[in-house]
A and B are shown apart, each in its own frame.
Chain A
Amino acid sequence: MLSKRIISCLDVRDGKLAKSVKFVDTKDIGDPIGQAKKYYEDGLDELVFYDITASSDRRDIMIDVVSRVAEQVFIPFSVGGGLRTVDDCSRVLLAGAEKVNVNSAAVKRPELISEASKAFGAQAVVLSMDVLHVDPSAQIPSGYEIVINGGRTPMGLDAIRWAQRGEELGAGELVVNSIDADGTKQGYELILTRLIAEAVSIPVIASGGGGKPEHLYAVLTEGKADAALVASMLHYGEYTVGEIKAYLVGRGLKIRMVN
């Protein structure tokens, strides 16, 4: 049986680590490579690097970050942010990432998912989706809407439908990020995560809202997620990877433990 994965997301801006709270007021908090190495040594299962650099001419800095991470971190990691074409994806994979993480660009042009999946295999394509809770409507029957541009632009697209479409197009995994929960540390959006996990047959990674190990337990059981993404609870040193994992093992989950 597979272990439930604990994944951390490092937001990188201009080559430096940042953590967004409700997608506004991001502040730099450190060096992504050093942080990645520390988490790797602490037993983290996987990493995501999200490039939030605004200007596209700074993208080379990100490629440099990716290749330096790959020299020191021997667990799978994905890279996202600003990937619009198969060529963009190819660059980060060649730099050493296992997977690419596509989000807004895939909403605007869904073929990006199928093109990347065909070029690199479904296992290399993670579809990340930012989701906002809205009143259910004919257009958004589930009451969960896809938003882009860091949560600012609603797309009139139902999150459940988009998740299923993503799987059909060849995504190998989904990151379901709740804009409502992101940065609150009040727990993951369990209903949303579960709805999507039950609607697709690819792994679902829950994102947004993790503040305590109990929150991870809830989303990995009740929320039916295969993995949970943690950011601030690790980045600010409130918990270590080992503490989170020990808690989950204590609650009876199958988790990969390292010494």
Chain B
Amino acid sequence: MITIVDYKAGNLTSVKRALDHLGITSQISADPDIVRKAEKVIFPGVGAAGAAMDVLKEWNLDSALKAAFKNGTPILGICLGCQIILTHSEEDDTHCLDLVPGACVRFHLNDPTLKVPHMGWNAVTVTQPHPILSHLRPDDEFYFVHSFYPQLADMAKVYATSEYGSTFPVAIGTNNLFAVQFHAEKSGPLGLRLLENFARWKP
């Protein structure tokens, strides 16, 4: 059973529908006790970091996620869920969950033809192997919608990158935590396969 964390941050049902389609059992929950004891956690999200952290704190989901991470629960962050696990976000100058040392920063692009948000399909390049990305081949594309991206001091925690003005991390991981900046649930068969890999993953 995968628990999808509900913190009022957008398309949770898209993730649920994708898991249903794959025949993977899941539940959507905002209950910190359920998150703390979950077998596996998906932490999705669309929206702004500040508002999201406010809700997480108010509902005690911040401590539940930290506890689940410490307990070794496999966690998959998606989009905003890939940003809020870092120490800090430039968006609303927000102090985040700090599960992975790093900061979420805004795209500053010199090329005026590159638009922000970075929205659409872009190629994802695997920089070091990970079971969740095992099906990827060069030039495989995923669907992105974001204006901020994760920046890590420790490149050993970066598993994949994309190009938009410059190279930026799009998949990060440490121990039982893995997170992707793109929307796996909206990235066609390759995204579904990634969710399937997470369901099978035994960190």
A191 is an interface residue with CB less than 8 A from chain B: no
Query: Are A256 and B121 in contact, CB atoms less than 8 angstroms apart?
Result: yes
A75 touches B119 (CB 8 A): no
Q: Are B46 and A121 in contact (CB under 8 A)?
A: yes
A74 touches B119 (CB 8 A): no
Q: Which of B159-203 contact A (CB under 8 A)?
A: 163-164, 183, 185-192
In the bound complex, CA of A2 to CA of B120 (Å): 6
**What are the residues of chain B within 8 A of A147 when measuring CB–CB?**
none
Contact A71 B121 (CB under 8 A): no
Interface pair B122/A1, CB less than 8 Å apart: yes
Q: Are A201 and B115 in contact (CB under 8 A)?
A: yes
Chain A residues with Cβ below 8 Å from B11 are: 98
* Binary contact readout B87-102 vs A (1 if CB under 8 angstroms, 0 otherwise): 0000000000000000
A258 within 8 A of B: yes
Residues 192-223 of chain A: 1 if any B CB is under 8 Å from the residue's CB, otherwise 0?
00000000011100000000000000000000
Q: Is B189 in contact with A258, judged by CB distance below 8 angstroms?
A: yes
Known: A71-B17, A72-B21, A74-B21. A5 touches B121 (CB 8 A): yes
User: Residue B33 at the A interface, CB < 8 A?
Assistant: no
Q: A162 near B: Cβ within 8 Å? A: no
Cβ 8 A contact of A70, one of B14, B120, B183, B189: B14
B188 touches A258 (CB 8 A): yes
How far does the alpha carbon of A257 sit from the alpha carbon of B140 in the complex, in Å? 8
Residue pair B14, A123 in contact (C-beta under 8 Å): no
B25 at the interface (CB under 8 A from A): no
Tell me, in angstroms, the Cα distance from A74 to B18 when the chains sit together. Answer: 7
**B62 proximal to A (CB < 8 A):** no
Is residue A96 contacting chain B, with contact meaning CB distance below 8 A? Answer: yes
Q: How far is the CB of B187 from chain A (nearest CB, A)?
A: 7
A40 — which chain B residues lie within 8 A by C-beta?
188
Contacts of B60 in A (CB 8 A): none
Q: Judging by beta carbons under 8 Å apart, are A74 and B185 in contact?
A: yes
Complex formed: what's the CA distance from A1 to B123 in Å? 8
Task: State whether B117 touches A172 (Cβ < 8 A).
Answer: yes
Q: How many angstroms between the C-alpha atoms of A226 and B122 in the bound complex?
A: 13
A94 at interface (Cβ–Cβ under 8 A)? yes
Contact with A along B78-122 (1 / 0, CB 8 A): 000000000000000000000000000000000010010111111
Residue-wise, chain B 1-19 has the 8 Å CB interface mask toward A (1 for contact) of: 0000000001101100110
Interface residues of B in 36-85 (CB under 8 A from A): 46-47
A2 neighbours in B (Cβ, 8 Å)? 118-122, 164
Contact with B along A1-25 (1 / 0, CB 8 A): 1110100000000000000000000
What A residues does B20 contact at CB under 8 A?
71
Nearest CB in chain B to that of A224: its residue? B113
Asked if A122 is an interface residue, CB under 8 A from chain B, the answer is yes
One of A75, A123, A226 near B117 (C-beta < 8 A):
A123
By the criterion CB–CB under 8 Å, are A96 and B13 in contact?
yes
| Distance from A234 Cβ to chain B, minimum over Cβ atoms (Å) | 17
Does B17 lie within 8 Å of A96, measured CB to CB? yes
Q: Given A94-B13, A173-B119, A256-B121, list of 4 further CB < 8 A pairs?
A: A3-B141, A71-B17, A98-B11, A203-B119
Query: Can you list 30 A-B pairs, Cβ within 8 angstroms, ordered by A?
Result: A1-B122, A1-B163, A2-B118, A2-B164, A3-B120, A3-B121, A3-B123, A43-B188, A45-B121, A70-B14, A74-B187, A74-B189, A74-B192, A75-B143, A75-B187, A96-B14, A98-B11, A121-B10, A122-B117, A123-B145, A172-B117, A172-B119, A202-B115, A203-B115, A203-B119, A203-B120, A226-B120, A256-B121, A258-B188, A258-B189
4 closest A-B pairs by CB: A2-B120, A256-B141, A256-B121, A3-B121
Residues of chain A having any CB pair with chain B under 8 Å: 1-3, 5, 40, 43, 45, 70-72, 74-76, 94, 96, 98, 121-123, 172-173, 201-203, 226-227, 256-258
Chain B residues within CB distance 8 Å of chain A? 10-11, 13-14, 17-18, 20-21, 46-47, 112, 115, 117-123, 139, 141, 143, 145, 163-164, 183, 185-192
